[in-house]
Structure 1
């Protein structure tokens, strides 16, 4: 059995891929909000990896993500991890991902909206002051901040972009499912760190290797 442990950001994209490319992986999703507590996320990821006794391999779909994957051990089977700093890099091409990483940009996508603290802040302002005043407050707070939105041209994408433009500068970039599809193919492990059973992840934080395998 092959196991994927992934951020919930990827759920709608794997749902779409499954219609095009049936795959034999079991997927366990963790909430997007888990990123807010890296130490707890680390412990949860390690626990899930340790519980994968029947798995032939684990694909861990997380970037460095606040250092949550640093030191994760492959105790039960081999583990594969994308060499990326952030999850968004798996939803766009390499050139775009590198450019956004250098800019340290804030980004959104189809599945990365509801857990957004700014959305909650906006909703609270609407409740307290009404929409017109809420728009004004958000504009004053965030009008100089550019958000990058990874689009797949769904109706929901279009609605999200329109909503974000009410309070932010928005730069729209093209999304792609190619990287996620390739990760599911056993023969195509380019861009993935192979952590053999008994070893662990060591983050490097550079723009090329990003992370390496290290003995426990």
Structure 2
């Protein structure tokens, strides 16, 4: 039996793929806000893993996520994790494509899940604006996003993009950033839910711990986080 533990931020994409491949894995959803605190995310992931006692495989639909998966282990089940920096790389088709896109200028990436999540840029900006007003919030977010060139919407083929593009354009105008749509892919999610755990996945045997070496990559060192919080 395989159970998947997944981030709510990419819930729409996961459920879309699940319906396409008729996947019957049980899903455990973790709130996206945990990404702001990798240690808390690691603790919650380990807690969920420890409660799964009859599984042969536990599929973690996360990425490396700022060390959040390091040290995770299961005494009974294999842990399978996409070999990605984070969920953004997963939806862009891999770490290499993410880095290649970054050569064009650093972008803050958006999907409907990231835009609408409790820790998403829209929620954070509105929370700041309610507390400090739009003028001060605009100044704060310009400082926080200094070095970013654009707000880029990832087209995964799941969401209707019109409203998301309009929202991204609105924030881009406020923050004096460019905006565009980049093509994404759900290939890794298809492989994940079909059980095709190839070189794009870390597979950790029962009793072993997840290590940095399992991922066989250097996390990108842009110096700028992909999730902004205040």
Q: Distance in 2 between matches of 1:8 and 1:82?
A: 16
Q: Relative to 1, partners in 2 of residues 1:34 and 1:121: Cα closer, same or farther, differing over 3 Å? A: closer
Q: Distance in 2 between matches of 1:43 and 1:130?
A: 35
Query: 2:148 — aligned with what?
Result: 145
Deviation at 1:210, TM superposition (A): 3.0
Alignment size in residue pairs? 208
Q: Distance in 1 between matches of 2:197 and 2:212?
A: 22
Query: 1:162 — aligned with what?
Result: 169
Query: 1:25 — aligned with what?
Result: 25
Query: 2:122 — aligned with what?
Result: 119
Long gaps (5+) in structure 1? 212-216
Q: Relative to 1, partners in 2 of residues 1:179 and 1:135: Cα closer, same or farther, differing over 3 Å? A: same
Correspondence list, 1:31-50, <5 A: 31-50=31-50
Pair 1:182-2:191 in alignment: yes
Q: Relative to 1, partners in 2 of residues 1:173 and 1:183: Cα closer, same or farther, differing over 3 Å? A: same
Long gaps (5+) in structure 2? 219-230
Answer whether contact 2:188 2:200 (CA < 8 A) is retained.
no
Q: Distance in 2 between matches of 1:72 and 1:4?
A: 15
Query: 2:52 — aligned with what?
Result: 52
Q: Relative to 1, partners in 2 of residues 1:163 and 1:151: Cα closer, same or farther, differing over 3 Å? A: farther
Answer whether contact 1:183 1:189 (CA < 8 A) is retained.
no
Deviation at 1:104, TM superposition (A): 6.7
Pair 1:97-2:98 in alignment: yes
Higher relative contact order (CA closer than 8 Å, sequence separation 6+):
2
SS at match of 2:66: helix
Answer whether contact 2:90 2:188 (CA < 8 A) is retained.
yes
Q: Distance in 2 between matches of 1:125 and 1:29?
A: 27
Q: Relative to 1, partners in 2 of residues 1:127 and 1:101: Cα closer, same or farther, differing over 3 Å? A: same
Q: Distance in 2 between matches of 1:136 and 1:79?
A: 42
RMSD over aligned CA atoms reads 3.0
Q: Relative to 1, partners in 2 of residues 1:96 and 1:163: Cα closer, same or farther, differing over 3 Å? A: farther
Pair 1:172-2:195 in alignment: no
Answer whether contact 1:76 1:197 (CA < 8 A) is retained.
yes
Answer whether contact 1:4 1:27 (CA < 8 A) is retained.
yes
TM-score (norm 2): 0.76
TM-score (norm 1): 0.80
Higher fraction of strand: 1
Query: 1:214 — aligned with what?
Result: none
Measured against aligned partners, the alpha-carbon deviations of 1:89-133 in whole angstroms (never above 9, x if no partner) come to: 1111234223357777532211012334653453256446876x4
